[in-house]
């Protein structure tokens, strides 16, 4: 499970960011999908106890939905910053920073693991 989360955070996340960042279009569909993913995550976790999860599949899907929403929010933030700073150097910096930003949830997970142990 830990390896899967690592691959999601450091391989799939930046790749998904770069793929979605290249798509030109309106911003509201991404915001809508991110909102629906967060809502679906809350619905999946609504019946679960915070301390003891009984269904690992629901917990994993909930975390996956929140993580996908985070990647979409990073794409939206990168688009907004690029609109404000139109230079080529800024565009490159924003793309790199956005891809790195998709890995932030991993560090929260690692910090929680260190606290538990």
pLDDT tens per residue across all 117 residues of the chain: 778 888 989 999 999 999 999 888 889 999 999 999 999 999 888 766 655 656 778 888 888 999 999 999 999 999 999 999 989 999 999 999 999 999 999 998 888 888 987
Q: What pTM value is reported for the model?
A: 0.87
- Count of Cβ atoms closer than 10 Å to residue 95 Cβ: 17
| Helices 56-84 and 28-45: angle between axes, nearest 10 degrees | 160
Are the C-beta atoms of 76 and 27 separated by less than 8 Å? Answer: yes
Residue 58 is given by DSSP the state H
């Amino acid at each position: 499970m830990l390896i899967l989360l690592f691959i999601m955070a450091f391989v799939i996340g930046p790749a998904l960011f770069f793929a979605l960042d290249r798509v030109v279009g309106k911003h509201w569909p991404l915001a809508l999908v991110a909102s629906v993913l967060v809502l679906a995550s809350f619905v999946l976790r609504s019946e679960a106890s915070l301390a003891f999860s009984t269904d690992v599949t629901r917990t994993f899907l909930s975390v996956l939905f929140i993580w996908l929403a985070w990647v979409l929010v990073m794409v939206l933030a990168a688009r907004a910053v690029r609109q404000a700073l139109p230079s080529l150097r800024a565009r490159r910096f924003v793309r790199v920073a956005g891809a790195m930003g998709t890995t932030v949830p991993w560090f929260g997970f690692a910090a929680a693991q260190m606290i538990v142990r």
